[in-house]
Chains A and B, each alone.
Chain A
Amino acid sequence: MQPLIAGLVRNRKALVGMIILLIIVLIALAAPLLTEYDPAARVGRPHQPPSAEHWLGTTRIGQDVFARLIYGARTSLAVGFGAGLLITVLGTALGIIAGYRGGKTDEAISFFTNMVLVVPNLPLLLVLASFIGQASPLVIAVILGCTSWAWGARVTRAETLSVKQKDFVKSAEMMGEPRWRIMTFEIFPNLISIVGINFIGSVIFAIITEATLEFLGLGDPKTVSWGMMLYNAQKASALSVGAWWDILTPCFALALLGIGLSLLNFAVDEIANPRLRTGNSMSRWSALIRSGEGRL
């Protein structure tokens, strides 16, 4: 834990990522102080370009784009971190249990994990969201959490297999420590960097996927979020009528948040890698975060 934090402070990528994330979090928290407008209310004439009155212009139905942007950040962050946490907890727990217990338990969990991995994720999410109908951010976060833990579980299991061979685990077993204690206090702390990468990767994935589902019109229209901003702007043909502020604002916000989190993720990976020479599973996982699931 200590070298991870020390490394993060010294790493330039981590610093930039941290600053981006911090700014977005602060803006989201301070939203009511930064704007007097209600993000859902009609406060001006439709599709006004940016002005002193409406810093980022207005939407097709006259809502203030800046107010929607900063209140929308709350939704994106909440869904991202909520779903990210759920994905990480599920993946880590299943991975450690499978890796440590071995035998039939391992076989059952691994089979289940591999099964979930080969079902295409986004199409399945689309179908689920459409069957539920007008999915609220909370529902989206829960669906994401329940369908996206498999990669984390696979990687955590592979790591657990190697940690379990270490002497300190053996000695804890000799001393008769209960199994749950070995898993939580002996094995888990040694997987912290993998869990960290899993968590940040999952947050990125959840934020992107929430925005994608909402952009495709599967979200709850009453939600104030970046995905709904994209959806409404696209529906109002913002691009073809030249209302660039309506559609580019959420685009840049999503891009910025994605870049900030990715920088953090790369940094954690860079710091953790020398200690984690497991090769294949690790590189597959990094590859996944960089080129894989997160990129929908």
Chain B
Amino acid sequence: MAFLLRRLGFYLAAFIAAATINFFLPRLMPGDPIQIMFSSTGTELSAENLASLKLTFGFVDGPLWQQYLTYLKSIFTGDLGRSIKYFPLPVTEVLGHALIWTVALMGTATLISFTLGTFLGILAAWRRGSVFDVVVSVGAIFATSVPAVVTSLIVLFFFGFTLNWFPTGYSADPALDPAFSLTYILSVLYHGILPMLTLCTVLTGGFAVTMRNNMINLLGEDYIVMGRAKGLSDSRVMIWYAARNALLPTVSSLAIAIGTVLGGSLVTEVVFNYPGLGNILYQAILARDYPVIQGQLLIMTIAMLVANFIVDISYVLLDPRLRRT
């Protein structure tokens, strides 16, 4: 319990630090972001209009510390201002909509690649040195060392343009109205296949290699030899003796993967023009939509922190030694 409380305290501190970076970043950069933001329209704004616009978008004048306090307050009340690109939609609404797509895409891809990768890793370690092991290991090196941009573009080129099997953009047929109907759901699944394929290619190898190496380290342990000597079946030793313990470090790599998945899904979403968080961030950067950029960074940080905390909790659940300290 003390362990979890300490971690919780750290995450709170980390969150405030991230929020602070988030606040000062645009203000430290050369030029007034607010001026840049409104000058993009090309027309000259009167000081009066500028002031009222600033007010609408939730910018406060006054000394920096006062702006900072207002900002902190707005974060904890969940008010992130209004988007400039999608005015007058509030940032929370723009991000909330995108979040659903990203979570669905990312969540499924992570789940598939974690399961598949772990399974491949267990088998590869069990038959270490066999053809299967070599294929999995070399395949994993290849899949994990190719940048996500490259994987996305190659998948898009072959399956989207050359073979023409799958759509090359959007999360669903734009002609269809979002509704809970069979046609719409099928369309969403059809459009999701390529981004999903890309993300799974990018992620599976990493999980497989981690699991394989953990397993190999464990297979030399005495209790594995003991299990075999007792005459337990291979599958029993493999799953319940070795894999179960090897899974622990893999869970922590899952937390690292959240950062990767966020990054990887960003690139994949941009390439496939998928309306998720990554794409929204990209569009916001192009449009200099500062409120959305700030909100986005905040959401991604929260996602990282929550993921890390869940891993901490699962560590306590999986590893009894941590419960005693």
**Residues on A close to B: CB < 8 A?**
111, 114-115, 118-124, 126-128, 130-132, 204, 208, 211-212, 215-218, 230, 234, 239-240, 242, 244, 247-248, 251, 254-255, 258-259, 261-263, 266, 279-280, 283-284, 286-288, 290-296
A114 and B10 contact, CB distance less than 8 A? yes
Min CB distance B212 to A, Å, is: 10
Does B274 lie at the interface of the complex (its beta carbon under 8 Å from any beta carbon of A)? no
A230 and B149 contact, CB distance less than 8 A? yes
Given the interface contacts A118-B304, A240-B161, A292-B206, does A254 sit within 8 Å of B25 by beta carbon?
no
Min CB distance B150 to A, Å, is: 5
Given the interface contacts A115-B17, A119-B301, does A254 sit within 8 Å of B147 by beta carbon?
yes
Across the two chains, which residue of chain A brings its CB closest to B113?
Answer: A291
Does B229 lie at the interface of the complex (its beta carbon under 8 Å from any beta carbon of A)? no
A-B contact number at CB 8 A = 189
Across the two chains, which residue of chain A brings its CB closest to B296?
Answer: A123
**Residues on B close to A: CB < 8 A?**
10-11, 13-14, 17-18, 21, 25-26, 29, 33, 140-142, 144-150, 153-154, 156-157, 160-161, 168, 202-203, 205-207, 209-210, 213-214, 217, 249-250, 252-253, 256-257, 259-260, 262-264, 266-267, 270, 281-282, 285-286, 288, 293, 296-297, 300-301, 303-305, 308
A293 and B153 contact, CB distance less than 8 A? no
B157: chain A residues within 8 A (beta carbon): 239, 244, 247-248
Besides the known contacts A130-B285, A230-B149, A284-B253, 5 further A-B residue pairs in the complex with CB atoms under 8 A apart: A120-B301, A123-B300, A131-B25, A239-B153, A255-B147
Given the interface contacts A118-B301, A119-B301, A284-B249, does A262 sit within 8 Å of B145 by beta carbon?
yes
B253: chain A residues within 8 A (beta carbon): 284, 287-288, 291-292
* Interchain CB contact (< 8 A) of A251 among B145, B154, B214, B304: B154
CA distance A262 to B157 in the complex (A): 25
CA distance A266 to B260 in the complex (A): 19
Across the two chains, which residue of chain A brings its CB closest to B271?
Answer: A234
Which of A212, A286, A288, A290 neighbours the largest number of chain B CB atoms within 10 Å of its CB? A290
B257: chain A residues within 8 A (beta carbon): 291-292
A283: chain B residues within 8 A (beta carbon): 210, 213-214, 217, 249
B146 and A212 contact, CB distance less than 8 A? no
Min CB distance A158 to B, Å, is: 14
Min CB distance B124 to A, Å, is: 14
Contacts A/B (CB < 8 Å), 21 sampled: A122-B263, A123-B281, A123-B297, A126-B266, A126-B285, A230-B149, A240-B161, A242-B161, A251-B150, A259-B145, A284-B252, A288-B253, A291-B203, A291-B210, A291-B253, A291-B257, A295-B202, A295-B260, A295-B263, A295-B264, A296-B264
A208: chain B residues within 8 A (beta carbon): 147-149
Rank and list the top 8 A-B pairs by shortest CB-CB distance, nearest first.
A291-B206, A262-B145, A122-B263, A258-B145, A287-B253, A131-B29, A296-B263, A208-B147
B263: chain A residues within 8 A (beta carbon): 120-123, 295-296
A212 and B148 contact, CB distance less than 8 A? yes
A123 and B262 contact, CB distance less than 8 A? yes
A258 and B146 contact, CB distance less than 8 A? yes
